[in-house]
Chains A and B, each alone.
Chain A
Amino acid sequence: MKILVISLLRLGDILLATSVLRSLRRANPKSEIHILINGQFQSVAQMIPFVDKVYAFDRDGIQRIIGATDRNLLEAYFRIEDLVEQMQSEKYDQVVNLTHNRLSGWLTALIGCGDTRGVVFGSNGKLTAGSGWFDYLNDFIEPGSGNVFHFVDVFHYGAGLQNSDRRIELYETQNGIEFARQTLSNSMLQKRILIQPCTSETKKTLNPQKWREIGTTIAQSEPGVSVYVLGSPSEKNIIDQICSSTPLLPVICDLEQAYSLLNNCNLLVTCDTSIKHLATATKIKILEISIGSSEYKKTGAYIQGAVILQGLVPCAPCNHRGPCTQSSHLCSEKISSEMVAMVCGAMMRQDEGALRMLAHEYQEDIALLRTHINFSGDWAAVPLGQEFSAKAINSWVDRVSFKLYLQKEHEKSIGEYGSEGIELKKLLENIFPDRSSQDWVTELKSLERDVIWFESRVESFLSKLKGLLGEFHDVSRLQQYMEELEIFCLEARRSKLFESYGRQLFLSLQDTNQNSGAFQTVKKLRERLSHAHQRARIELKLIHGLQTGFTEAL
């Protein structure tokens, strides 16, 4: 069996994709696994286990041709054609496209394979995702759209992989091992903290002066700890600016060397960087500062026990495209050097109580979260010090119900409600450790009432839709129905509890608005409303399970 994985985004995305490569190898031990990545990242291939062949898409070269007025676009066309021909000759049995864009959809179509997972254009020119999980990714791709699943989990479920061990594993190279040995030789007996300040987009990081303050404060508050500031050759000027006249130690290195350094240090402080993903393949503790367009829920450190610190501002997370739109970088202003140093100290001492106290103390400015991977392998960032409310409880119930729905558990005779429900109860008790069983029963009762109300509203829209089936000649009835549904969607989106439903229903209205036929409109609406209805029923089952659990404890 020959399998191709396509990852045509950036380095961090390739590192996340390695988790899927590992799972594919475990599920198909005798298979041949290939990967298609952007050519400029080819050097990372030697660190990736489980891959038999790497194909490079010369995106830089092609973009150079496109961006030169004196060159013919056909040159770019033929470059793509050459690559496609090579890949067609491989005759893949399965193609897993982890790149959610149109270009990769066309490339997947061109490579040609009967079994594709992820976006691909069909012979009718229509884009399909091949799995409800990839459809989910499409619905919730925009920043702040309420996405709740990590890319690694979506990729696994979307590719039909069921294993719960989804960790990222990489090879260490001799070049890296030697570099780390030499660089760290002066701090053999000391603890070591690494700071990776630079990110691919400036709005995703703090300014150099703040990094300088953070590094210096950590060095002062953690005596006996060596603090290294990491950067690539192109980042040397910024690294020097941060470290000059401070106890901070600059390190300029490549990716392999950075990986070996991470393997030999105790704590990494960084933002949304490829180094963060690299670190998840080591045992180093990770503090991730999530600001700007960083969306920790999608791309947070995929490892148990990392800490995420997020600046709380209404505009975050912002869009990747374009610079920060605020008068100043508000999300970074919420983060102080003292706060970061104290979190680092608590992490170094493994003091969970201190972390919770810091979360409470700074709750106006930041959210402090701890990453968690449950028994099914699903990743979540769990807030330390979240306020106890029906909304907070529901955000977790909603997440589990979404997963069960996307996994089609409701279609199976024996679903995973029981074990997922038990796991959910444990998670909730971990987030709200001080609540009595009575508190839980009261909040769950209130939540149950709201979900029953919502479910009945969706049910009524579904039955009204049935009535419209024989009335296609009366356009005004369908129009009126659509208007009523739009109002309901808006209510749901604004509500504390049903935002995710509102978003999906709203998207279906947008879809149908672009679709002229009344029959198609009704069909699509019915499909989406049925989804919402089924999910609400799953949510109710989970709430009933939780109620039983907490009532028994009374």
Chain B
Amino acid sequence: MSAQQEELKQFLQGALADLNKLSDHIREMQDYSEKAELILCLRELVQEQIEVPKSENSSHSAYATR
């Protein structure tokens, strides 16, 4: 893994840790406001970026762009 990739991985893991803390707080407070739900969306996208980028949930397709 290149230094750049390593830096990105650490950055994303740090971001995910922060978002996880926020998610836990949302769950504890049962505060499912619009802002909270947007944070939870963002958390899913960060997690997706860390996991396999071409998993079933990703959007890769050869015919996507013309």
List residues of A whose CB falls within 8 A of some B CB.
8-12, 38, 40-41, 43, 59-60, 62-63, 66-67, 69, 73, 76-77, 80-81, 84, 101-103, 106-107, 109-110, 121, 123-125, 198, 200-201, 231-232, 234-235, 254-255, 258, 274-275, 320-322
Give the distance to chain A from B57, nearest Cβ to Cβ, in Å.
Answer: 5
Interface size class of B (residues with CB under 8 A): 35 or more
Main SS of the interface on chain A?
helix
Choice from A8, A69, A235, A321 contacting B62 with Cβ under 8 Å = A235
* Nearest B residue (CB) for A126: B32
Question: Which of A62, A66, A81, A232 touches B63 (beta carbons < 8 Å)?
Answer: A232
A and B contact pairs by CB, cutoff 8 A, 12 listed:
A40-B64, A43-B64, A66-B45, A66-B46, A73-B42, A73-B46, A81-B38, A101-B57, A106-B44, A125-B30, A321-B56, A322-B52
The chain B residue sitting closest to A322, CB to CB, is B52
B46 contacts A60, CB within 8 Å? no
How many A-B pairs fall under 8 Å by CB?
112
Contacts of A8 in B (CB 8 A): 59
- Of the residues B41, B55, B57, contact of A107 by C-beta under 8 Å: B41
Nearest to B11 among chain A residues (CB) is: A69
A321 touching B38 in the complex, CB below 8 Å, given contacts A11-B63, A125-B26: no
Known: A9-B57, A40-B64. A321 touches B7 (CB 8 A): no
Contact B66 A106 (CB under 8 A): no
Contact A41 B59, beta carbon cutoff 8 Å: yes
Pairs of residues from A and B, 4 with the lowest C-beta to C-beta distance, nearest first: A103-B44, A232-B62, A320-B56, A11-B61
Contact of A121 (CB < 8 Å), options: B7, B32, B48: B32
A180 to chain B, nearest CB (A): 16
Chain B proximity of A464: nearest CB distance (Å): 35
Smallest CB separation, B30 vs chain A (Å):
7
Whether A121 and B37, one on each chain, are in contact in the complex, defined by CB atoms closer than 8 angstroms, is yes
> Assuming A106-B40, A258-B63, A321-B56, what are 8 further A-B pairs, CB within 8 angstroms?
A10-B56, A11-B63, A43-B65, A76-B42, A103-B41, A103-B44, A200-B61, A232-B63
In chain B, positions 25-61 with a C-beta closer than 8 Å to chain A are 26-27, 30, 32, 34, 37-42, 44-46, 48-49, 51-52, 54-61
User: Closest approach, in angstroms, between the C-beta of B37 and any C-beta of chain A?
Assistant: 5
Q: How far is the CA of A145 from the CA of B48 in the complex (A)?
A: 23
0/1 per residue, B1-34, Cβ < 8 Å to A? 0000001100110010000000000110010101
Residue of A10, A73, A103, A106 near B61 (CB, 8 A) is A10
Residues of B within 8 A of A62 (CB): 45
Given the interface contacts A110-B41, A320-B55, does A124 sit within 8 Å of B30 by beta carbon? yes
Which of A73, A231, A258 lies at the interface centre, i.e. has the most chain B CB atoms within 10 A of its CB? A73
